[in-house]
Amino acid sequence: MDSDEEEFTFEKKRPILYGSLEERERQRLTGQRTTGSLSSDAIEAGKAAGNINITQGGTFDLPDNKESQAELLAELEKKKRARQIQVSTDDVEIKANLRQLGEPICLFGEGPADRRERLRNILATIGEDTLKKKKQTEIDEKKKKDDENITWYHEGPASLKEARIWIAEYSIPRAKERIRNQKEHVQLSSAQRNAKVQDLHKRVRAISNECSQIGDVRPLSFCQFSPDSKMLAVSSWSGLCKLWSIPDCQLIRQLRGHNGNVGAIVFHPQATLQLDDKSCCMASCGQDGSVKLWNLVSDEPVADIEGHAPYRVSRLAYHPSGRFLGTCCFDNSWRLWDLEAQEEILHQEGHSKPVYDIAFQNDGALAATG
């Protein structure tokens, strides 16, 4: 072989095709038994790999979400109403509105803006008209109370008119005497007035305990000296009233007649002085609404005054003339009784709470209750 000969290597070159590949691609796909659609081929490949499972005719029920949908709608409506409600920006007014609705006016860590938003949500829940109704109710109640406080009058019986005329004739001369004594006292020199005051203070300082006695096994509710200062009448929660002698504190008599606590016992202004011991010399009242009249010779009541039950009669007092008896009651009223006519001539209201005590002026023209 000649050294001049060269060794050649031939490479096999691929042919270059020109034109459309559609016909060639169709033949390739036909050979692979494909559908001719890329998406269908991808689905078939997924099914073959087990990534896609398609059942034949299988069905399942979706859960019923009507309740949850209703809750969502209600919540949306609530938020919508809350946005439309006009709430004051004044924190004091907001607290007042919360108090009217019975809600706490402040929560831990809550600021004015949070409090305002809480009020808005509450109004959205219960309705904005609720607050207006509460305010209107308070206004109506206040107006009703104001109407009840209006002074009103009613015509009294003829016996009340006669009693008032009699009391006027009794009290006017005594009022004149009282005013005359006051004028004489004013005309006294300051030295004389001071001497009287000093004498009074001296007698007061000289008061000491003269004797002592156990009045009853239950608490004592009231006591009063007789007009001649020789007896002491005591009432007790045991239902008994007792008369004690003065000054040795010896038991004279037990008065039995009350079935419950006795509130007070009082003497007639003329008892032990001009009034006969067999007459009505004392009066007592009880928790059960009973009022009893007593004399000084018997341990049983001589008469009962009815008309207070079931309310408690807390106190009673004789008019200075002794003809009338005043009683105060837990029905927020007091009564005036004519003991000679044996009837109630005045039933006066005006207190807003139970009446605890009654007293008459020395002239007999005025009565005070409280």
Number of neighbouring beta carbons within 10 Å of residue 246: 15
pLDDT of residue 88: 77
Query: In 3-state terms, what secondary structure has residue 345?
Result: strand
Class of domain 213-369: mainly beta
Half-sphere exposure of 313 (CA within 13 A, CB side): 28
Number of neighbouring beta carbons within 10 Å of residue 238: 18
Distance CA 40, CA 48 (A): 12
Let me know: does 235 contact 262? Beta carbons within 8 Å.
yes
pLDDT of residue 327: 94
Distance CA 227, CA 39 (A): 126
pLDDT band at 62 (very low <50, low <70, confident <90, very high): low
pLDDT of residue 102: 78
Q: Is 89 exposed, middle or buried (0-12, 13-18, 19+ CB in 10 A)?
A: exposed
* 53-62, 98-107, 153-162, 232-241: least confidently modelled range: 53-62
Domains of the chain: which residue ranges?
A: 73-134, 213-369
CA atoms 98, 104, 106, 110: torsion sign: negative
pLDDT band at 197 (very low <50, low <70, confident <90, very high): confident
pLDDT band at 11 (very low <50, low <70, confident <90, very high): low
Mean pLDDT of 214-226: 91
Distance CA 245, CA 240 (A): 17
User: Does residue 27 carry a pLDDT above 80?
Assistant: no
Identify the residue with better confidence: 47 or 223.
223
Max mean pLDDT among 27-31, 55-59, 325-329 falls in 325-329
* 113-122, 178-187, 194-203, 309-318: least confidently modelled range: 113-122
Query: In 3-state terms, what secondary structure has residue 171?
Result: helix
Identify the residue with better confidence: 239 or 65.
239
The model's pLDDT over 74-129, given as tens digits with 9 standing for 90+, comes to 777 777 777 767 777 888 888 888 887 778 888 888 888 888 888 877 777 776 56
pLDDT of residue 1: 46
Distance CA 222, CA 234 (A): 6
Mean pLDDT of 23-34: 63
Identify the residue with better confidence: 151 or 261.
261
The model's pLDDT over 283-301, given as tens digits with 9 standing for 90+, comes to 999 999 999 999 999 999 9
Mean per-residue pLDDT over the chain, rounded: 82
Identify the residue with better confidence: 345 or 73.
345
Half-sphere exposure of 49 (CA within 13 A, CB side): 8
When computed from its CA atoms, the radius of gyration of the chain, rounded to whole angstroms, is: 52
